[in-house]
């Protein structure tokens, strides 16, 4: 929590001026590494000083060698040049290394903080932003920060200080020529500023385009089986090509704008140098200054225009960095799930009081005026047609959403007043959407209780009827199962998720179509194992297969977000309502098959 607060402070808007705020963000990110930054700054100062010394040495070289024909100076000058260039190389090496290390550390820390922030965001955030766009922000966008810190800020210091040193040399040699050469600077600065704003807008569009490319790739990898099943490879390839083409076009717009900026600075620099050559040549011809003075001045100015051109690139890179900051704020400034609240050992009493709920982007209610109570240790089944709101009830109990209206009480305490971490640590959830990780079997089961022993893992696997197939895998419990358990069958994957829930030993068990992927024999085995496990635990079972919930203490029948019927299996059959219709429909289907 502390690290998240720290990163949010660094990205905070304080000055209500985007440019100043973005500059402040870079400073806050950098100041943590102030010793490295100061050392790099000293290296930059040394590099600038050496560049100034090179420009300064032109006058004595011209005067001593070409005018006075000094043989002694002729031998000393090359040695001095080698020393200056070697020193510049050494200081450049350390400057680049230090700034690159700062950039890499910032990227690592920002990615780490953003990832932790994502883990703490409410479900509503993931309804509004797709996973591909989030991945692009964490990987593609954050990586640009390294370039901004490693090269842009480095160049700003090195080239900025070089301009100051060389300008000082130029003024010392001939102040009137220096003023003449600087006439073009305001025009150059104005052009760079105007083009910089355009680059920022183009850069943001490029970030959005690469996010779309990342989203398509992510969706393709997740849905590769469906893509192949529906022979959509060509269509998906065309979509991806179109997204890449849009990204390419926007990148080239950036390149054109940036290169036009360079063209403009080159032209303006050329005008400035032309004025210097004309006026300086006039002074030399009229013997008002020596050739050495003029060439020393001209060298300083020409060396100065190169860093000025690089500073125009610094501006372009800085604008891209500003876009990254803006996009990361879309994650960092989202309010997290509340961590405060009552921490307590729950008994498992669940009470819905006039609960209505609708999803953030929906106009219609998913649940309307829901009222029921589940006593500790009871098994309650929730049935009904697809879209009736069954899974929504499970999500509300787990605290993924809060009711839009009404309240949910857990052991008499409003779910809004409970610590979500404390509540969820006492709930085990098995959903129809199987979630497994690219890890070993044992680690996937241990996800329910990371401190469990190997014996406890095996016991849970046996209860879930998973032990036999696990020990026949190439490396048994240590076998890798691939991303999303791709190396396992649907039934095997489901059994591992059930074993994970059993290992958790929760107070509240939620099975959302948990046995849908199992054959009848496996389902019966697991049902018997779960009957033992359910003792003393509140269990919610969401099922389409009604034969699995006959022995439930209470059955809630839902349709269109409302409770239609409630009672035991026998009571509901006697009523002859929706439950009876569903039962007869399934019974007739099973008889005919």
CB atoms within 10 A of CB 337: 15
From 333, 415, 411, select the one nearest 377 (Cα to Cα).
Answer: 411
The pLDDT of residue 68 is 67
User: Is there a contact between 142 and 324 (Cβ–Cβ < 8 Å)?
Assistant: yes
pLDDT tens, residue order, the chain (593 aa): 555 667 777 787 776 667 788 888 888 888 888 899 899 889 888 888 887 787 777 767 766 666 667 677 777 778 888 888 899 899 989 988 998 888 889 889 898 988 989 888 888 888 888 888 888 888 888 888 887 877 777 777 777 777 777 777 777 777 777 777 677 777 777 777 778 778 888 888 888 888 888 888 888 887 887 788 778 888 889 998 999 999 999 989 988 888 887 788 778 777 877 877 787 777 778 877 777 677 767 777 777 777 776 777 777 778 888 888 888 988 888 888 888 888 889 888 999 999 999 998 888 899 999 999 999 989 999 998 888 888 899 999 999 999 999 999 999 999 999 998 899 889 988 887 788 888 899 999 998 788 889 999 999 898 888 898 999 999 999 999 888 888 888 778 888 888 888 888 889 999 887 666 666 676 676 676 677 677 778 999 988 778 778 888 999 999 999 999 999 988 888 888 888 888 888 766 554 54
User: Is there a contact between 176 and 294 (Cβ–Cβ < 8 Å)?
Assistant: no
Architecture per CATH, domain 434-505, reads as: 3-Layer(aba) Sandwich (3.40)
The pLDDT of residue 227 is 84
User: Is there a contact between 572 and 580 (Cβ–Cβ < 8 Å)?
Assistant: yes
Please determine whether the domains at 348-426+508-521+536-593 and 434-505 fall in the same fold group of CATH: yes
Q: How far apart are CA 326 and CA 329, in angstroms?
A: 5
Q: How far apart are CA 579 and CA 573, in angstroms?
A: 7
β-bridge pairing 350-357 and 405-410: antiparallel
From the number of C-beta atoms within 10 Å of its C-beta (0-12, 13-18, 19+), residue 442 rates as: middle
Q: How far apart are CA 346 and CA 273, in angstroms?
A: 80
Q: List, in order, residues 6 or more apart from 197 with CB less than 8 Å away.
A: 319
Q: How far apart are CA 173 and CA 288, in angstroms?
A: 12
Q: How far apart are CA 54 and CA 296, in angstroms?
A: 9
Cα–Cα distances (Å) from 206 to 62, 253, 278, 331, 384, in that order, read 51, 9, 44, 19, 46
Residue that is written with structure tokens 């955030």 in the block: 125
The pLDDT of residue 515 is 67
User: For the domain 2-332, what is the CATH superfamily, name and number?
Assistant: ABC transporter type 1, transmembrane domain (1.20.1560.10)
User: Is there a contact between 157 and 40 (Cβ–Cβ < 8 Å)?
Assistant: yes
Q: How far apart are CA 317 and CA 151, in angstroms?
A: 9
Q: What is the DSSP letter of 335?
A: P
Q: How far apart are CA 501 and CA 503, in angstroms?
A: 5
β-bridge pairing 367-374 and 413-414: unpaired
Half-sphere exposure of 440 (CA within 13 A, CB side): 12
Q: List, in order, residues 6 or more apart from 148 with CB less than 8 Å away.
A: 26, 103, 317, 318, 320, 321, 324
The pLDDT of residue 522 is 67
Q: Which residues pair with 370 in a beta bridge?
A: 355
The pLDDT of residue 413 is 92
User: For the domain 348-426+508-521+536-593, what is the CATH superfamily, name and number?
Assistant: P-loop containing nucleotide triphosphate hydrolases (3.40.50.300)
Give the start-to-end residue ranges of the domains of the chain: 2-332, 348-426+508-521+536-593, 434-505
What is the side-by-side strand order in the sheet with 379-383? Answer: 427-430, 508-512, 538-542, 379-383, 554-559, 562-567
User: Is there a contact between 460 and 532 (Cβ–Cβ < 8 Å)?
Assistant: no
User: Is there a contact between 314 and 152 (Cβ–Cβ < 8 Å)?
Assistant: yes
The pLDDT of residue 443 is 92
* Cα dihedral sign, 436-437-441-445: negative
The pLDDT of residue 79 is 84
The pLDDT of residue 526 is 67
Q: How far apart are CA 146 and CA 104, in angstroms?
A: 6
The pLDDT of residue 493 is 86
Length reported for the chain: 593
């Amino acid at each position: 929590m502390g690290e998240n607060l720290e990163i949010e402070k660094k990205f905070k808007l304080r000055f209500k001026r985007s440019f100043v705020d973005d500059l402040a963000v870079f400073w806050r990110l950098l100041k943590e590494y102030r010793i490295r930054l100061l050392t790099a700054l000293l290296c930059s100062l040394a590099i600038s000083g050496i560049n100034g010394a090179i420009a300064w040495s032109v006058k004595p070289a011209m005067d001593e060698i070409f005018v006075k024909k000094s043989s002694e100076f002729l031998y000393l000058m090359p040695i001095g040049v080698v020393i200056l260039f070697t020193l510049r190389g050494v200081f450049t090496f350390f400057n680049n290394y230090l700034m690159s290390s700062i950039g890499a550390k910032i990227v690592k820390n920002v990615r780490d903080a953003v990832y932790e922030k994502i883990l703490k965001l409410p479900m509503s955030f993931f309804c509004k932003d797709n996973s591909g766009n989030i991945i692009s922000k964490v990987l593609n966008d954050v990586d640009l920060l390294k370039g901004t810190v490693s090269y842009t800020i480095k160049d700003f210091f090195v080239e900025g200080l070089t301009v100051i040193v060389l300008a000082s040399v130029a003024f010392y040699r001939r102040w009137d020529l220096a003023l003449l050469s600087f006439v073009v600077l305001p025009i150059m600065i104005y052009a760079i500023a105007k083009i910089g704003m355009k680059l920022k807008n183009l850069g943001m569009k490029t970030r959005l385009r690469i996010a779309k490319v990342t989203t398509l790739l992510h969706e393709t990898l997740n849905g590769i089986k469906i893509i192949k099943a529906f022979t959509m490879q060509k269509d998906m390839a065309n979509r991806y090509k179109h997204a890449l083409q849009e990204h390419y076009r926007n990148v080239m717009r950036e390149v054109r704008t940036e290169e036009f900026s360079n063209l403009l600075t080159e032209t303006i620099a050329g005008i400035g140098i032309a004025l210097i050559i004309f006026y300086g040549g006039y002074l030399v011809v009229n013997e008002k200054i020596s050739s050495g003075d003029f060439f020393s001045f001209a060298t300083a100015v020409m060396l100065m225009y190169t860093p000025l051109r690089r500073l125009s690139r610094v501006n372009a890179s800085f604008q891209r960095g500003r876009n990254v900051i803006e996009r990361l704020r879309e994650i960092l400034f989202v309010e997290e799930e509340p961590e405060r609240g009552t921490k307590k050992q729950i008994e498992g009493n669940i009470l819905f009081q006039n609960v209505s709920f609708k999803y953030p982007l929906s106009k219609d209610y998913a649940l309307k005026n829901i009222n029921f109570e589940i006593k500790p240790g009871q098994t309650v089944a929730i049935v009904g047609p697809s879209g009736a709101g069954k899974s929504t009830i499970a999500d509300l109990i787990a605290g993924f959403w809060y009711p839009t209206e009404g309240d949910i009480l857990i052991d008499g305490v409003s779910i809004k007043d409970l610590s979500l971490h404390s509540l969820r640590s006492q709930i085990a959830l098995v959903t129809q959407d199987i979630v497994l990780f690219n890890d070993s079997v044992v680690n996937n089961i241990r996800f329910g209780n990371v401190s469990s022993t190997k014996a406890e893992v095996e016991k849970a696997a046996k209860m879930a009827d998973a032990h036999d197939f696990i020990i026949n895998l190439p490396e048994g419990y240590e076998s890798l199962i691939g991303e999303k358990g791709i190396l396992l069958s649907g039934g095997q994957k489901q059994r591992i998720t059930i074993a994970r829930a059993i290992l958790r030993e929760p107070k509240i068990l939620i099975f959302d179509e948990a046995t849908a992927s199992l054959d009848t024999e496996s389902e019966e085995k697991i049902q018997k194992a779960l009957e033992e496990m359910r003792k003393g635990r509140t269990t919610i079972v969401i099922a389409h297969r009604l034969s699995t919930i006959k022995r439930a203490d209470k059955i809630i029948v839902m349709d269109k977000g409302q409770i239609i019927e409630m009672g035991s299996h026998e009571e509901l059959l006697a009523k002859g309502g929706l439950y009876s219709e569903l039962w007869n429909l399934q019974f007739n289907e099973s008889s005919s098959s």
